[in-house]
Every structure is written in structure tokens, then in C-alpha cells.
Amino acid sequence: MNEDFNSEKEDNNKEEEHLTPEQRLNPTMSPMAAGFIGLITVFVLYQIGGSLITLIIFGFDLESANITAMRLMTIGGQVLFILLPALLFAKLIYEDVTTIIRFRLPNFKEVIVFVIGLAILTPLLQSYLYVQNYLIEQLAAQSHFLTQIKDFLDTLDKLVSETYAGLLKSHSIFEALFIVIVVAVVPALCEETFFRGFVQKSFELKIKPIFAAALTAIFFALYHFNPYGLIALFALGLFFGFAAYKSGSIFVPLILHFLNNLIAIVAYFVLGEDEFLQSNVTDQASINSNLYLFIFFLTLFSVYIYLVIKNYSKIKDKKEPI
């Protein structure tokens, strides 16, 4: 009896070895379709539905709205309209929710490796933004049409920045801790579960991981409605996607996302609102120095990515994700 059972078990294991990752997860629809349906649903719920609910409750004068209520609305919107759909779609479409969300605890070395990458990427993107915005200024000065486009982007950027800055204003240590939860903890948990968990993993079942990470990063950048930060957000999302795929753990990009937002909070507290919102430089000396910094950190980051790809298997657990 035991021999028959063991033989049957071995046969089942052999059959599973020949299954593709998609077959093992047994989705109820195409994983690509699942990813796009998730993106459309969350966009409608969070960006459109959330905005309408905010306007109904607080009206158009958001500057005079109760900031605590706004923060609670932000938490509620993220949890109900981003995290919950991700988990529901994962449960309804796939047999194994933990695999599609990448619920795996990484070891300490894995986390440190990607934190080092974030430490290199942060100044790289900051120097890039200075150079980018300077070039936009120069191009706009050459054309009335481009100036009009820039004025529109400036208005949109100011609205996004002021809304974000409004969430960061603190008058006590307890309020500061609450801000960390609102701006760093909750977005990291909800957005990474959705983007690098459900969406990217769904795409990975049909296309190459690099394309899945890049496609997810595009939507991640677009969802933030930050016109001047679009490329920087794409690069950040791509790195989060790279970390999620290499580690096989949602906790790695979650930690990176949290740290990235925490850095922004600390920068706001240290620099103040005016310096925090300022990302333009006009003098040639500052542009040259930021250009040199960009080249330096881009080179350093390229070497870092090469070393991670070449040596990551040495620090990762033996068991690979699907």
C-alpha cells in the first residue's frame, strides 16, 4: 500500500515538473488579461472613484479641508481600492494566491543588497530630474507652443506637489509618525501588492520578466500623475520590479518603496516645503555638476545591476519561486 502511494506521489511530482508556471497556477483567464483588468479596475476605483468621493466629502477647496480626515481618506482609498482588488483578483483568478503575490520571506542579505541599490538610485534620479527640468526650461524658451505645454504641466505638477506636501505637514511627533504610516507604510503595502505582486506576476506568466517589469513600471508611473517625475517613477518602478523578480518576494520591493517614501518625508521635514518642492536649477555650474553626478551614479548603478545579476544566486535561498 505504501509503495503504491509513494509511486503515485512520485508520478504526480514528475507531472508537475513538466507543467509551466501558468499551468501550475491554473488561472481562470489569460494572465495578461487579468493584469490589464486589474489595472483598469484600480484606475477607475482609486483615481476616478476616489477623486469623486473626495470632492463629494471635501468639495473643491481641498486646502481648507481637515487634514486628518484627508489622511484617513488616503489610507481608506489605498486599502479599499488598491490592496483589496489585488487580493480579490488573485484569489478569484489563480489557485495559489501566495505565489502570485510572491509571499516569501527574504533573507537579510537579500534585503541589504537591494537597499544598496536604492541608495545608489536615489541620487541618480535626483540629479537626472535637475538636468531634465533644465532641458525642458531651455526647450520651452525656444517655442511658444512648448511654453504653453510647460505651463499646463507646471500647473498639474504644482497641484500634485502641494497636495502631497499638505499630507506631510506636522505639528507633533505623534502626527509625524502618523504621516509615516499614511505616506510610507500604507502606499508601500498596497501598491507593491498590486503592482509588483498581482500585475507584474501575471504578466510574467506570458512575457519575459524584464518586459513584465517594464510594462508594470509604465503603469506605476502613470498612476502617480506626476508629469515631471514620470521617467524617474518609471525607473523606480522598474527597479522595484527587478527586485521583486530576483528575490521572488513581495517584501523586498515593499521595503524599498517604504524607504523611498520615508526619505521623501525626512527630506520635507529637514528642508522645508519650499526646498522640497524645488527641483529646478538655472545656472550652468549647477547643471554641469548635476550632469557629472548623473553620469557617475548611472555608471555605478550599471555596475551594481551587473553584479547583482551575476552573483545573486549566492545569497538567495535554494528554493526558487515559480
Tens-digit pLDDT profile for the chain (322 aa)? 555 545 554 554 555 556 677 778 889 999 999 999 999 999 999 988 988 888 888 776 666 778 888 899 999 999 999 999 999 999 999 989 999 999 999 999 999 999 999 999 999 999 999 999 998 888 888 888 888 888 888 888 777 777 777 788 888 899 999 999 999 999 999 999 999 999 999 999 999 999 999 999 999 999 998 889 999 999 999 999 999 999 999 999 999 999 999 999 998 888 766 555 555 656 677 888 999 999 999 999 999 999 999 998 888 755 444 4
Q: What is the pLDDT of residue 153?
A: 83
Which contacts qualify for 204-211: CB closer than 8 Å, 24 or more apart?
204/21, 204/245, 205/21, 205/22, 205/25, 205/27, 205/31, 206/22, 206/30, 206/31, 206/32, 207/32, 209/245
Q: What is the spatial distance between Cα 223 and Cα 101, in angstroms, rounded to a whole number?
A: 20
Cβ atoms within 10 Å, residue 43: 15
Which triple of cell numbers denotes residue 182?
Answer: 499614511
Q: What is the pLDDT of residue 62?
A: 65
Q: Does 14 fall in a domain?
A: yes
Range of the domain at 273: 2-314
Q: What is the pLDDT of residue 280?
A: 62
Q: Does 320 fall in a domain?
A: no
Which contacts qualify for 35-42: CB closer than 8 Å, 24 or more apart?
35/198, 35/199, 35/200, 35/202, 35/203, 35/216, 37/89, 38/85, 38/86, 38/89, 38/194, 38/198, 38/199, 38/202, 39/199, 39/219, 41/85, 41/89, 42/81, 42/82, 42/85, 42/86, 42/194, 42/223
Which triple of cell numbers denotes residue 12?
Answer: 504526480
DSSP state of 133: H
Q: What is the spatial distance between Cα 177 and Cα 175, in angstroms, rounded to a whole number?
A: 5
- Cβ–Cβ < 8 Å for 228, 157: yes
Which triple of cell numbers denotes residue 282?
Answer: 538655472
Q: What is the pLDDT of residue 320?
A: 46
Q: Does 133 fall in a domain?
A: yes
Q: Does 321 fall in a domain?
A: no
Q: Does 319 fall in a domain?
A: no
| Tally of residues, the chain | 322
- Cβ–Cβ < 8 Å for 110, 249: yes
Q: Does 162 fall in a domain?
A: yes
Which contacts qualify for 48-52: CB closer than 8 Å, 24 or more apart?
49/81, 50/77, 50/81
Q: What is the spatial distance between Cα 16 and Cα 320, in angstroms, rounded to a whole number?
A: 15
Number of independent structural domains in the chain: 1
Q: What is the spatial distance between Cα 38 and Cα 245, in angstroms, rounded to a whole number?
A: 19
